[in-house]
């Protein structure tokens, strides 16, 4: 086993970290306050190749492995949890659906602008009555000649109101359960009947719009279906497995940011005529925080390694996301505790990190669902 980063991975970390420190971190509080999608920052990340990190160069991507991608996303999330979600939903969900299941023509037409950062992607799976229970979805896609007619609603769609390409899941055979779900490429700017009903006012994850979408007799060409009819559920599960690695990266990035803030504050804040960092209780908190961050990062890279090798990584991805999600909240909570009353105010960023961290335990597989996945894998 080699725990050292390659020269390319170190270069990616340094490049992204420099961009985050220069462009993202100074604006993170403003993004959190206004909750506006930072289109100019996303465009800059596209120019740097960060919106297509794991995709082949022939489709406009950077051709990086999943270790480097996770490293890059960790750094972005260190600067802003909301931007971490923007990138993860764009690459891990929308982009990977096209990369893994699209035809050559679909990749050239839709993946390339996503990988270049010219377009923004979204992944429309969840519905008001179908979150963890995906087969309960009610959105329908009925074949009509060379088109599909889509009717239904989607909820909790990251990037949904700003996306140029939306990967949509709908039932093409309502009687077939999860075998009746298919996936499609939707172009909001071209497809009549696509409506954004609004965006959610969330606890955290600001800057990444979470939209409710409605489809009213929306007609899309049949050649925009991804793969065969009825394979959408399988496609979604495979894609979400890979996405869990990058949500783990988001968790590590947020936890790291909270730890760094706590270390700095512990060195500056004085009580009882000495920095609080000299108090053993504070040192123990920092020690536990750092240990959790390091362990979460190792689980993240373990899952990424299995994915790169083409081995089954479902359990490992679930473990990485589960642990990184929970420790990101725990570390951010301890960061607030170390700051004392100041940590509970918006004058210090640890309260934002706490709010951003909580989402990790909910989206792309709740912690409860992940424990089911891990337990079933052990029994199998």
Q: Compute the distance between CA of residue 145 and CA of residue 174 in angstroms, rounded to an integer.
A: 19
Which is the catalytic residue, given 18, 30, 364, 368?
Answer: 364
DSSP for 4-24, written as a single string = SPPHHHHHHHHHHHHHIIIII
Q: Residue 312: how many CB atoms within 10 A of its CB?
A: 12
Contact 12, 73 (CB under 8 A): no
364 is catalytic: yes
CB-count exposure of residue 339 (10 Å: 0-12, 13-18, 19+):
buried
The H or E element that residue 148 is part of is: strand 147-158
Closest CA to 256 of 338, 324, 207, 344: 324
Half-sphere exposure of 328 (CA within 13 A, CB side): 33
Closest CA to 123 of 363, 356, 373: 363
Q: Compute the distance between CA of residue 81 and CA of residue 324 in angstroms, rounded to an integer.
A: 14
Q: Where are the alpha helices (DSSP H) in the chain?
A: 7-19, 28-34, 39-47, 66-79, 81-88, 96-101, 104-106, 112-115, 232-268, 280-309, 314-339, 350-358, 367-379
CA angle, 276 then 277 then 282, to 5°: 85
Q: What are phi and psi of 140, to 5 degrees?
A: -115, 145
- Active-site residue numbers? 364
């Amino acid at each position: 086993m080699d725990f050292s980063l390659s020269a390319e991975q170190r270069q990616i970390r340094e490049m992204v970290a420099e961009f985050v420190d220069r462009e993202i971190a100074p604006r993170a509080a403003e993004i959190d306050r206004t909750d506006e999608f930072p289109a100019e920052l996303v465009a800059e990340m596209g120019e740097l190749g960060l919106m297509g990190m794991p995709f082949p160069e022939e489709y406009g991507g950077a051709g990086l492995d999943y270790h480097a991608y996770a490293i890059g996303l960790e750094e972005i999330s260190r600067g802003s949890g909301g931007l971490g979600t923007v990138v993860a939903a764009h690459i891990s969900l929308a982009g990977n659906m096209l990369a893994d299941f699209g035809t050559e023509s679909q990749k050239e037409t839709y993946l390339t602008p996503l990988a270049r950062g010219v377009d923004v992607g979204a992944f429309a799976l969840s519905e008001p009555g179908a979150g963890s229970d995906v087969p309960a979805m009610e959105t329908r896609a009925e074949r009509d000649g060379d088109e599909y007619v889509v009717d239904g609603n989607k909820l909790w769609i990251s990037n949904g109101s700003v996306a140029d390409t939306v990967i949509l899941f709908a039932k093409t055979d309502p009687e077939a359960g999860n075998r009746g779900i298919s996936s499609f490429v939707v172009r909001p700017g071209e497809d009549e009947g696509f409506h954004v009903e609004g965006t959610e006012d969330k606890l955290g994850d600001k800057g990444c719009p979470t939209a409710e979408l409605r489809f009213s007799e929306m007609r899309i060409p049949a050649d925009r279906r991804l793969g065969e009819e009825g394979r959408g559920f399988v496609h979604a599960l495979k894609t979400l497995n890979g996405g869990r690695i990058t949500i783990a990266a988001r968790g590590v990035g947020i936890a790291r940011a909270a730890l760094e803030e706590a270390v700095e504050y512990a060195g500056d804040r004085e009580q009882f005529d000495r920095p609080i960092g000299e108090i053993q209780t504070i040192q123990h908190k920092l020690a536990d925080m750092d240990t959790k961050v390091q362990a979460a990062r190792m689980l993240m890279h373990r899952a990424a390694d299995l994915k790169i090798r083409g081995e089954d990584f479902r359990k490992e991805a679930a473990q990485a996301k589960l642990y990184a999600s929970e420790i990101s909240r725990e570390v951010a909570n301890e960061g607030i505790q170390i700051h004392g009353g100041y940590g509970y105010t918006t004058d210090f960023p640890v309260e934002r990190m706490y709010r951003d961290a909580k989402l990790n335990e909910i989206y792309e597989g709740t912690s409860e669902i992940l424990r089911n996945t891990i337990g079933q894998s052990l029994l199998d």
